[in-house]
């Protein structure tokens, strides 16, 4: 499926994604101190309490900025006060809009957020629920051992066959695609990571190959490879917008 590796400056005014489209935002989590403070002011009391439970300043900052930017974007899409947005939570603590995803500007709005190190990725759609995952690229000397615990037999074989210089990226391609799918169905359903197969080879389109051993069930999902910033890889998962179609992706950089 399509990859997204170009993230441009956003348009001046935001409208909810059209049917068949997904908006993906690349969000730096280390802005100047005044922007961190502005993001924190948008948080609800429970979010402030959650931020303050983190032991280290950098983790408190990352959480506050990620949630503050999420609220800001939702406010722009919905035509609402960002601080007034109310969340409810599904399985795996996945947030939803508390009013049933109703938008003042159109159809239901679905979203998902992921963060790693100093970057968050947020995705929005009006056509279907979705999941997104991002990881900072880093050396993974234990990649094969982790794969033994979480990857399918086919994925373990493909990872072991990857050239050593490519193995870390192959690992993260596989990991983010699997996590994105799990987050897309994150409504309390327990999904084993080794219960489905995804592609992970270089130049190989992101795709689910089998779900519980069934290629036809896997064909009911679309995976997309993301490169939201230098040093990061990600993935997006969602059911197809309509039979046989792929999503149209738009990538934007958040700059405040």
72-91 pLDDT, tens digit each: 999 999 999 999 999 988 77
Burial class of 188 by CB neighbour count within 10 A (0 to 12, 13 to 18, 19+): exposed
**Residue with the two structure tokens 């990859």:** 3
**Residue that wins the pLDDT comparison between 108 and 163:** 163
pLDDT of residue 100: 47
Residue 27 tokens read as: 């969000």
Buried b (16+ CB within 10 A) or exposed e, 88-101: eeeeeebbbbeeeb
CA-based nearest residue to 234, from 127, 74, 151, 113: 113
Give residue 45's pLDDT band: very low, low, confident or very high (50, 70, 90).
Answer: very high
For the segment 99-126, the average pLDDT, to the nearest whole number, is 81
Q: Which of 103-107, 133-137, 153-157, 192-196 shows the lowest mean pLDDT across its residues?
A: 103-107
Tens digit of pLDDT for each residue in 172-197?
Answer: 999 999 999 999 987 555 788 999 99
Is residue 137 within 8 Å of 232, Cβ to Cβ? yes
How far apart (Å, rounded) are the C-alpha atoms in residues 67 and 52?
13
Q: Which CATH superfamily is domain 134-245 in?
A: 4'-phosphopantetheinyl transferase domain (3.90.470.20)
CA-based nearest residue to 228, from 3, 2, 1: 3
Strand (E) positions, the chain? Answer: 3-4, 21-28, 87-89, 95-97, 110-116, 119-125, 131-136, 196-198, 208-211, 222-226, 232-238, 248-253
Tens digit of pLDDT for each residue in 145-169?
Answer: 999 999 999 999 999 999 999 999 9
pLDDT of residue 191: 81
Handedness of CA 254, 120, 82, 251 (dihedral sign): positive
How far apart (Å, rounded) are the C-alpha atoms in residues 125 and 80?
17
For the segment 237-246, the average pLDDT, to the nearest whole number, is 84
Q: Which of 12-16, 57-61, 152-156, 249-253 shows the lowest mean pLDDT across its residues?
A: 12-16
Residue 172 tokens read as: 């993260």
How far apart (Å, rounded) are the C-alpha atoms in residues 31 and 61?
9
Percent of the residues in the chain that have a pLDDT greater than 90, as a whole number: 80
Give residue 102's pLDDT band: very low, low, confident or very high (50, 70, 90).
Answer: very low
**CATH 3.90.470.20-classified regions of the chain:** 23-126, 134-245
> Do the bridges between strand 248-253 and strand 21-28 make them parallel or antiparallel, or are there none, so unpaired?
parallel
Give residue 226's pLDDT band: very low, low, confident or very high (50, 70, 90).
Answer: very high
DSSP 8-state assignment for residue 80: S
CATH class of 23-126: alpha beta
């Amino acid at each position: 499926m399509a990859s997204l590796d170009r993230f441009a400056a956003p348009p001046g005014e935001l409208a909810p994604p059209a049917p068949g489209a997904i908006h993906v935002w690349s969000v730096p989590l280390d802005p100047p101190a005044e922007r961190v403070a502005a993001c924190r002011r948008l948080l609800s009391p429970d979010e402030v309490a959650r931020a303050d439970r983190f032991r280290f300043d950098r983790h408190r900052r990352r959480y506050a900025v990620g949630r503050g930017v999420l609220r800001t974007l939702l406010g722009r899409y919905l035509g609402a006060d960002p601080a007034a947005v109310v969340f409810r939570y599904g399985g795996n603590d996945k947030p939803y809009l508390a009013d049933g995803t109703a938008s003042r500007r159109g159809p239901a709005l679905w979203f998902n957020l992921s963060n790693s190190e100093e970057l968050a990725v947020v995705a929005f759609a009006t056509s279907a629920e979705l999941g997104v995952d991002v990881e900072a690229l880093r050396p993974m000397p234990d990649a094969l051992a982790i794969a033994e615990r979480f990857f399918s037999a086919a994925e373990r074989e493909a990872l072991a066959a990857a050239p050593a210089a490519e193995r870390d990226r192959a690992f993260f391609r596989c990991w983010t695609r699997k996590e994105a799918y799990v987050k897309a169905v994150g409504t309390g359903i327990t999904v084993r990571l080794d219960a489905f197969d995804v592609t992970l080879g270089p130049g190989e389109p992101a795709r689910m190959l089998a779900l519980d051993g069934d290629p036809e069930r896997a064909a009911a999902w679309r995976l997309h490879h993301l490169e939201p910033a230098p040093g990061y890889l990600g993935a997006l998962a969602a059911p197809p917008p309509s039979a046989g179609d792929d999503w149209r992706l738009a990538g934007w950089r958040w700059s405040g």
